[in-house]
Amino acid sequence: MRLRICTWNVNSVRLRAEQVARFVAEQGPDVLCLQEIKCQAAEFPTKAFVDMGLPHIRIAGQKGWHGVAIASRLPIEDAPVLDVCREGHARAVGAIIAGVEVQNFYIPAGGEEPDRALNPKFDHKLDFYARLTTEMAKRDRRAPLILAGDLNVAPGEHDVWNHKFMSKVVSHTPVEVEAFGNLMKSLDFIDIVRESVPDPSKLFSWWSYRAADFRASNRGLRLDHLLLSPGLREAAWRQGAPAARVHDTVREWARPSDHAPVSVDLGL
């Protein structure tokens, strides 16, 4: 069977429920991981997701801020709850679907100053990465696991519009890239989107609202990720080549999120 897993920082699920429905109708995800839902669980538009054909839902909600959810066409089983956010924010939710553990994250953006001593938000971001890395190092690399979400780091030179400039800006600083790399090494994760679109191709999933035409300016960052455990490599390559992509045309829609969805197809 094909299992299509998507991640999308939707930037308010209630505001963009119709866009989510359009995306689901056009792209047919089996599992949709959402970040920045910006609502509590009781406020989540559950009926809209049932109508989309994604009736199985796990929600970690928070009033007005953050919040993550997983919606699935297939039944959901409970996944381990990860203690990775020291501030107690709704930034992580997990589920097991068709035997695959999916952990969905909205990692802190980190504020504007890339200094742990001066900026508590940046310190929180790196602490989140450290906790998650420690947790993943305990796992069995052969087990089917996906880390999905807005991880708020553009890890590679070709994941940002200007490497030299962005190396001094939160999201692409050396200490953040190192933290991302440590997470990758903790379980030998596979950056499946980059394997589908290898360097040196530029690849972004986020573009600022400040640009009137995001394609013309193209000052993007690849902040949204699908990281696969080695146990899923065969599933990702079952069709001969990995099928992972950024759905950047969604960023062209009216009143879009500043993030585009990212997806991968697994053959299970």
**pLDDT tens across 146-172, in order?**
999 999 999 999 999 999 999 999 999
Spell out the residues 6+ positions from residue 137 whose beta carbon is closer than 8 angstroms to its own. Answer: 186, 187
Q: What is the model's pLDDT at position 238? A: 82
Phi-psi category of residue 237: left, alpha or beta, with phi > 0 → left and psi -120 to 50 → alpha: alpha
Q: What is the model's pLDDT at position 241? A: 78
Q: What is the model's pLDDT at position 242? A: 86
Range in 136-150, 171-185, 234-248 with the lowest mean pLDDT: 234-248
In the block, tokens 């069977």 appear at 1
Average pLDDT over residues 88-109: 98
Q: Is 84 exposed, middle or buried (0-12, 13-18, 19+ CB in 10 A)?
A: buried
Our CA angle for 260, 266, 268, nearest 5°, is 155
Q: What is the model's pLDDT at position 264? A: 98
How many alpha carbons fall within 13 Å on the CB side of residue 109? 11
Q: What is the model's pLDDT at position 174? A: 98
Of 97, 145, 149, 140, nearest to 262 (Cα)?
149
Q: Give percent of the chain with pLDDT exceeding 70.
A: 100
Per-chain mean pLDDT for the chain: 97
pLDDT for 240 beyond 90: no
The domains of the chain, with CATH numbers, are 2-267 (3.60.10.10)
pLDDT for 233 beyond 90: yes
Residue 81 CB neighbours (<10 A): 11
**pLDDT tens across 50-65, in order?**
999 999 999 999 998 9
Average pLDDT over residues 168-187: 98
Q: What is the model's pLDDT at position 252? A: 97
Q: Give percent of the chain with pLDDT exceeding 90.
A: 96
